[in-house]
């Protein structure tokens, strides 16, 4: 049987549309508009690196240039979001909370043995005392629990027992993050933070598995079972395969083939109506993306679909880096046209552009440079600095 096919151009347009990157970036970027955007994406990953702005803020800014970090803080404070884990820490629409009961139960079952081996201490002996402290004193951070404050915590790789207990109680659902001071989480009892209507009748596991799989496919447009499992990182690969088999038998999804950027084929599944969909032509607006943007999070998929090879080099010694410490991809239309090494130097009140590498086959003429400079002006305002400086030799040869 000949499978239906999505050519590479159409697949990229569909994928970008699903990730809110096809339309011109516009909108208030706060309140209901921001809540709808996060629900459309499913979640937004949180990351602490602040070379230009934090990853979650960059993700939202790329789609809503009017967005500012205070708008996310307000949405959080108003109860529109909660923070938990997908493939990493993320902010998630509050109405999704009931389905995280499945994640809480799985983390409660799987984390103790892993963390005992990792941290080499008995954090479980601290669980009740940490809960009692919060019950009696209200929301707290790790710095409120004796000697386990930020100065003594040793970083994420060396948590002390009460810090580990806090994280476990959060991951297993007994505690909820109420916000952050700096980048330090504050935790309170879940029943004091999450509405009773979201806690009283958790869905059956099978219902949540269906919800996770459907939600992943809807946000990806087309996928393999492995990509469906990886989207929320809660459903197992075997559960995703079983879901695909059931939905295929019911006719709600069908197999198809996507043309990859290198000319190879990739077998995927999608909803039949996607084959009739005409995705919008992606905007020609050039924009800076976070390395953690949801469209780029799966590096292998980004390379297959866009021909864009990207790796974070934060932990690579400087002399061994191919590009730089924290390099931002550049999206224009349906192409990733380059990457830029830049940093907001707030002490000097300027954006420092160290280097830009166009992708192979991408010219850097006056028109593209004008679009790049227009985006830098927007990024400069967002980062809270006033001027832009280009280092000597900033425009590099493609690698």
pLDDT at residue 181 is higher than 90: no
Q: Which residues have CB under 8 Å from 382's CB, separation 6+?
A: 53, 57, 61, 65, 68
- Percent pLDDT > 90 in the chain is 87
pLDDT band, residue 146 (cuts 50/70/90): low
Residue 372 lies in a domain: yes
Mean pLDDT for 281-297 is 96
pLDDT tens by residue, 330-389: 999 999 999 999 999 999 999 999 999 999 999 999 999 999 999 999 999 999 999 999
Mean pLDDT for 202-230 is 98
pLDDT at residue 37 is higher than 60: yes
pLDDT band, residue 65 (cuts 50/70/90): very high
Q: Please, which residues bridge with residue 267 across strands?
A: 257
pLDDT at residue 158 is higher than 60: no
Residue 210 lies in a domain: no
What per-residue confidence (pLDDT) applies to 6? 97
What per-residue confidence (pLDDT) applies to 214? 98
Q: Which residues have CB under 8 Å from 168's CB, separation 6+?
A: 111, 112, 115, 123, 124, 127
Residue 225 lies in a domain: no
Residue 331 lies in a domain: yes
Quick one: how far is CA 319 from the chain centroid?
A: 29
What per-residue confidence (pLDDT) applies to 180? 86
Q: Please, which residues bridge with residue 266 across strands?
A: 258
pLDDT tens by residue, 295-314: 999 999 999 999 999 999 99
pLDDT band, residue 124 (cuts 50/70/90): confident
CATH number at residue 306: 3.40.630
Residue 32 lies in a domain: no
The CA-based angle 60-61-63, given to 5 degrees, is 70
The number of domains in the chain is 1
Quick one: how far is CA 90 from the chain centroid?
A: 7
pLDDT band, residue 154 (cuts 50/70/90): very low
What per-residue confidence (pLDDT) applies to 120? 66
Query: How many whole angstroms separate alpha carbon 237 and alpha carbon 245?
Result: 12
What per-residue confidence (pLDDT) applies to 198? 96
Residue 155 lies in a domain: no
What per-residue confidence (pLDDT) applies to 176? 97
Measuring CA to CA, how many Å separate 125 from each of 75, 137, 176, 182?
35, 20, 20, 29
Q: Please, what is the average pLDDT of the chain?
A: 94
Q: What is the 3-state secondary structure (H, E, C) of the chain?
A: CCCCEECHHHHHHHHHHHCCCCCCCCCCCCHHHHHHHHHHHCCEECCCCCCCCCHHHHHHHHHCCCCCHHHHHHHHHCCCEEEEECCCEEEEEHHHHHHHHHHHHHHHHHHHHHHHHHHCCCHHHHHHHHHHHHHHHCCECHHHCCCCCHHHCCCCCCCCHHHHHHHHHHHCCCEEEEEEECCEEEEEEHHHHCCHHHHCCCCCHHHHHHHHHHHHHHHHCCECHHHHHHHHCCCCHHHHHHHHHHHHHCCCCEEEEEECCCCCEEEEEECHHHHHCCCCCCCCCEEECCCCCCCCCCHHHHHHHHCCCCCCCCCCCHHHCCCCCCEEEEEECCEEEEEEEEEEECCCCEEEEEEEEECCCCCCCHHHHHHHHHHHHHHHHHHCCCEEEECCCCECCCC
Q: How large is the C-alpha radius of gyration of the chain?
A: 22
Q: What range defines the domain where residue 297 resides?
A: 286-390
pLDDT tens by residue, 67-101: 999 999 999 999 999 999 999 999 999 999 999 99
pLDDT at residue 271 is higher than 90: yes
Quick one: how far is CA 182 from the chain centroid?
A: 20
Mean pLDDT for 141-146 is 81
Asked if 362 and 336 count as a contact pair (C-beta separation under 8 A), the reply is no
pLDDT band, residue 285 (cuts 50/70/90): very high
Residue 234 lies in a domain: no
Query: How many whole angstroms separate alpha carbon 335 and alpha carbon 295?
Result: 12
pLDDT at residue 149 is higher than 60: no
Asked if 353 and 343 count as a contact pair (C-beta separation under 8 A), the reply is no
Q: Rounded to 5 degrees, what are φ and ψ at 256?
A: -155, 175
Residue 379 lies in a domain: yes
Query: How many whole angstroms separate alpha carbon 233 and alpha carbon 225?
Result: 12
What per-residue confidence (pLDDT) applies to 113? 86
């Amino acid at each position: 049987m000949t499978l239906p096919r999505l050519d590479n151009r159409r697949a990229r347009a569909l994928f970008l549309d699903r990730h809110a990157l096809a339309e011109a970036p516009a909108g208030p970027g706060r309140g209901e508009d921001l809540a709808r955007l996060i629900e459309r994406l499913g979640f937004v990953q949180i990351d602490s690196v602040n070379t230009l702005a934090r990853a979650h803020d960059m993700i939202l800014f790329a789609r809503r240039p009017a967005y500012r970090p205070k708008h996310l803080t307000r949405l959080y404070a108003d109860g529109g979001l909660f923070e938990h884990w997908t493939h990493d820490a993320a902010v998630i629409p509050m109405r999704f909370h009931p389905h995280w009961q499945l994640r809480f139960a799985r983390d409660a079952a799987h984390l103790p043995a892993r963390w005992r081996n990792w941290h080499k201490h008995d954090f479980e002996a601290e669980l009740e005392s940490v809960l009692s402290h919060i019950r009696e004193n209200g929301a707290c951070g790790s710095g409120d629990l004796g000697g386990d404050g930020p100065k003594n915590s040793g970083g994420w790789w060396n948590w002390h027992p009460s810090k580990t207990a806090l994280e476990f109680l959060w991951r297993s659902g007994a505690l909820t993050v109420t916000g952050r001071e700096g980048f330090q989480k504050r935790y309170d009892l879940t029943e004091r933070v999450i509405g009773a209507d979201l806690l009283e009748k958790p869905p059956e596991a099978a219902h949540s598995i269906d919800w996770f799989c459907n939600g992943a496919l809807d946000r990806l447009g087309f996928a393999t079972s492995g990509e469906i499992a990886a989207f929320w990182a809660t459903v197992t690969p075997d559960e995703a395969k079983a879901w695909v088999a059931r939905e295929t038998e019911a006719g709600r999804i069908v197999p198809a083939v996507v043309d990859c950027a290198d000319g190879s084929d990739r077998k995927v599944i999608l909803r039949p109506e996607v084959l009739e969909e005409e995705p919008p032509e992606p905007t020609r607006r050039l924009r800076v993306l976070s390395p953690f943007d949801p469209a780029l999070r799966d590096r292998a998929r980004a390379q297959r679909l866009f021909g864009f090879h990207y790796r974070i080099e934060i932990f690579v010694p400087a002399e061994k880096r191919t590009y730089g410490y924290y390099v931002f991809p550049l999206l224009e239309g349906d192409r990733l046209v380059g990457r830029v090494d830049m940093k907001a130097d707030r002490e000097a009140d300027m954006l420092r552009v160290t280097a830009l590498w166009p992708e192979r086959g991408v010219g850097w003429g006056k028109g593209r440079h004008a679009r790049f400079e227009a985006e830098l002006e927007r990024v400069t305002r967002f980062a809270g600095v006033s001027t832009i400086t280009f280092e000597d030799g900033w425009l590099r040869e493609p690698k």
